[in-house]
């Protein structure tokens, strides 16, 4: 199954992230996959808002991973926001130990995570970001998402 949503503006991309946050459960890993500038960080900002992060969420490109405290009714207390674009090897990604970090009450969003999908050691969700000719973006959600938790995506197209 996959869910698709066209986003005409950065505000829409953030709104999609905000809506997507409602499918998340503690322990989830979400890979954000798309070319440079296709909206991954913008989406992560919306997810953060949906999870009740109050601090500003910026690109973790140079720090590789940032932690944000969350306040919500989903049992998620920490958002790990990573960007593995600059890593030189899979070993480096493995050393970030994102899979272990998200146990308990955290979730992880990993920009460029598809380049290292083998190191997460679990089923992951994937959000693909496609650039359209009009500069809008199409977001496609797929991966480890059981039916009982897809209600927040009901407004998205499901081909
Ligand atoms: N749906 C959209 N329509 C038009 N512009 C958008 C849309 N979504 C995001 N943008 C804009 O695209 C630019 C790049 O977004 P963003 O930094 O989120 O991309 P990214 O995928 O994280 O990039 P990188 O690969 O460098 O990490 C920003 O200026 C953002 O406002
Ligand atoms: Mg980014």
**Which CATH superfamily is 3-145 part of?**
P-loop containing nucleotide triphosphate hydrolases (3.40.50.300)
The pLDDT, as a whole number, for residue 19 is 95
Q: State the 10-residue block means of pLDDT for the chain, 159 residues long.
A: 94 96 94 95 98 94 88 96 87 79 87 84 89 96 88 84
Each domain of the chain, given as residue ranges in start order, spans 3-145
The number of the ligand nearest the C-alpha atom of 33 reads 1
Return the best residue to mutate from 7, 10, 45, 112 for the ligand 1 pocket (most ligand atoms within 8 A of CB).
Answer: 10
Instruction: Write a three-state SS string for 130-148.
Output: EECCCCCEEEEEEECCCHH
**Two structure tokens written together for 155:** 């407004």
The torsion of the CA quartet 66, 67, 71, 74, rounded to 10 degrees, works out to 100
CA–CA dist 47, 41 (Å, integer): 10
**Two structure tokens written together for 33:** 């996959």
Return the best residue to mutate from 19, 38, 49, 59 for the ligand 1 pocket (most ligand atoms within 8 A of CB).
Answer: 38
CA–CA dist 59, 124 (Å, integer): 21
């Amino acid at each position: 199954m996959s869910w698709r949503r066209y986003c005409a503006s950065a505000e829409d991309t953030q709104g999609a992230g905000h809506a997507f946050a409602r499918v998340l459960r503690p322990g989830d890993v979400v890979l954000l996959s798309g070319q440079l500038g296709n909206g991954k960080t913008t989406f992560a900002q919306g997810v953060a808002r949906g999870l009740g992060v109050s601090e500003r969420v910026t690109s973790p490109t140079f720090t590789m991973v940032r932690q944000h405290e969350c306040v919500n009714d989903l049992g998620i207390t920490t958002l790990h926001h990573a960007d593995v674009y600059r890593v030189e090897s899979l070993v480096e990604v493995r050393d970030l130990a994102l899979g272990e970090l998200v146990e308990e009450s955290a979730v992880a969003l990993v920009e460029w995570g598809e380049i290292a999908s083998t190191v997460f050691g679990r089923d992951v969700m994937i959000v693909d970001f496609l650039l359209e000719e009009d500069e809008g973006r199409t977001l496609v959600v797929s991966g480890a998402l059981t039916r009982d938790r897809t209600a927040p995506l009901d407004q998205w197209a499901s081909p």
